[in-house]
């Protein structure tokens, strides 16, 4: 019986529970204590064979199926898979079964999937790996990182995701690069959450990070999770902005626009806040002709429904890939 290491102890399919309860003997090698307790609560006792070499484990497993009385029916025995996959057991079991087959009395073998991964289950692996790297005995470099020391990596990985997505559609490796770079960016989120867990006064963890964004998404999509009706994507965006404004309670028109954004992207967000008006008000103080020209270029991109930052980046990419004269 194979169970997913990402499934909580005790969560088995009904056929798996029936198979375990119908087995006279349930064997394992170094089972997790939580699984031992969960099975014990159901009246199932695990016999731990971790002290035996793998060949002897296989022999004990097969021998446990022998009839109680000569000529009688064989017994059902279950092997409860270990988190490490029981290395070597499959080969040792095949050898033992081959020997029994020659003798003319091989037992029947059935592989049972006791539990399955749910979508997103591999995220638990990432959290566990990050915890191992950050804990005593892990990686010295990972252990000394802080939120601030990780910022350059967060920025770099973000730009690498953008670069991967903007690769030509004809690039056969484009999707593979997107998957890889998204993984690198996801690592940064998990890393920051792990660092946050260690704060002596105000700790937070990955579950709080996930819970916060779940609550925000539900709150800002009342047309999906409540009874609000919308007519198209534009109204969805308008409702989002309205809900966000009520949540943030900002006092200034440009509050909340990150100062660390690239200048073109920051300018476009500021112009978006001003609406469809020509650059005025706060921008009247700009008297430098170059500054005004740059701002006008961003306004031109906005009026055309284009992203100024992405447009300039695309132009530079074309220039950098053009053959040299």
Which secondary-structure segment (H or E) carries 106?
Answer: none
Q: Which of 81-90, 170-179, 271-280 is modeled with the greatest confidence?
A: 170-179
What is the rounded distance in angstroms from the CA atom of residue 5 to the CA atom of residue 141? 28
Give me the pLDDT at residue 325, please: 59
- pLDDT at residue 227 is higher than 80: yes
**What φ, ψ does residue 77 adopt, rounded to 5°?**
-130, 145
Give me the pLDDT at residue 245, please: 80
Is residue 196 a contact partner of residue 204, using CB atoms and an 8 Å limit? Answer: yes
Give me the helices (H) in 220-258, please.
222-225, 233-248
What is the rounded distance in angstroms from the CA atom of residue 76 to the CA atom of residue 68? 11
What is the rounded distance in angstroms from the CA atom of residue 11 to the CA atom of residue 35? 10
Ordered by where they begin, the domains of the chain are 14-103 (3.40.1010.10), 259-318 (no CATH)
Which secondary-structure segment (H or E) carries 48?
Answer: strand 46-48
Give me the pLDDT at residue 241, please: 81
Strand-pairing partners, residue 78, are 26
Strand-pairing partners, residue 98, are none
Report the percent of the chain where pLDDT is more than 90. 61
Q: How many CB atoms lie within 10 A of CB 230?
A: 15
- pLDDT at residue 282 is higher than 70: no
Q: What mean pLDDT comes out for the span 14-27?
A: 92
- pLDDT at residue 104 is higher than 90: no
- pLDDT at residue 231 is higher than 80: yes
Give me the pLDDT at residue 278, please: 55
- pLDDT at residue 105 is higher than 80: no
Q: What angle do CA 249, 254, 260 make, to 5 degrees?
A: 115
Give me the pLDDT at residue 254, please: 84
- pLDDT at residue 235 is higher than 70: yes
Residue given tokens 């990419």 in the structure block:
317
Terminal C-alpha separation, the chain: 66
Q: What mean pLDDT comes out for the span 70-86?
A: 87
Which secondary-structure segment (H or E) carries 212?
Answer: helix 206-219
Give me the pLDDT at residue 274, please: 81
**What φ, ψ does residue 157 adopt, rounded to 5°?**
-65, -35
Pick from 71, 6, 12, 73: nearest CA to 41: 12
pLDDT band at 324, cuts 50/70/90? Answer: low
The contacts of residue 244 (CB under 8 Å, 6+ apart) are 220
- pLDDT at residue 9 is higher than 60: yes
Q: What mean pLDDT comes out for the span 209-230?
A: 93
Rg (CA), the chain: 30
Give me the pLDDT at residue 100, please: 86
What is the rounded distance in angstroms from the CA atom of residue 19 to the CA atom of residue 26? 10
Length of the chain: 325
Which secondary-structure segment (H or E) carries 154?
Answer: helix 147-165
Q: What mean pLDDT comes out for the span 150-167?
A: 93
């Amino acid at each position: 019986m194979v169970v997913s290491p990402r499934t909580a102890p005790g969560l088995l399919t009904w056929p798996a529970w029936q198979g375990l309860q119908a087995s006279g003997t349930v064997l394992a090698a170094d089972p997790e204590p939580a699984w031992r307790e969960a099975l014990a609560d159901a009246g199932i006792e695990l016999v731990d064979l971790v002290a035996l070499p793998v060949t002897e484990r296989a022999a004990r497993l097969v021998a446990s199926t022998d009839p109680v009385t000569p000529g009688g029916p064989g017994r059902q025995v279950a092997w409860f898979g270990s988190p490490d996959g029981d290395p070597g057991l499959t080969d040792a079991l095949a050898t033992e079964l081959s020997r029994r087959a020659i003798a003319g009395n091989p037992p029947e073998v059935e592989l049972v999937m006791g539990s399955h991964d749910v979508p997103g289950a591999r995220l638990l692996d990432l959290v566990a790996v990050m915890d191992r790297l950050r804990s005593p005995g892990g990686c010295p470099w990972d252990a000394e990182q802080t939120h601030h020391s990780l910022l350059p990596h967060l920025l770099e990985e973000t730009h690498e995701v953008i670069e991967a997505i903007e690769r030509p559609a004809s690039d056969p490796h484009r999707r593979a690069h997107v998957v890889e770079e998204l993984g690198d960016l996801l690592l940064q989120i998990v890393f920051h959450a792990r660092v946050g867990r260690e704060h002596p006064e105000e700790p937070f963890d990955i579950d709080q990070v996930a819970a916060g964004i779940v609550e925000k998404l539900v709150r800002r999509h009342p047309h999906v999770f409540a009874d609000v009706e919308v007519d198209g994507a534009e109204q969805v965006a308008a409702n989002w902005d309205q809900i966000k404004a009520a949540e943030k309670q900002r006092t200034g028109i440009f509050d909340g626009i990150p100062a660390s954004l690239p200048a073109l992207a920051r300018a476009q967000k500021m112009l978006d806040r001003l609406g469809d008006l020509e650059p005025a008000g706060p921008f009247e103080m700009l008297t430098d002709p170059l500054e005004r020209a740059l701002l006008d270029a961003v306004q031109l991109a906005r009026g055309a429904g284009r992203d100024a930052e992405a447009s300039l980046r695309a132009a530079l990419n074309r220039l950098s890939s053009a053959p040299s004269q």
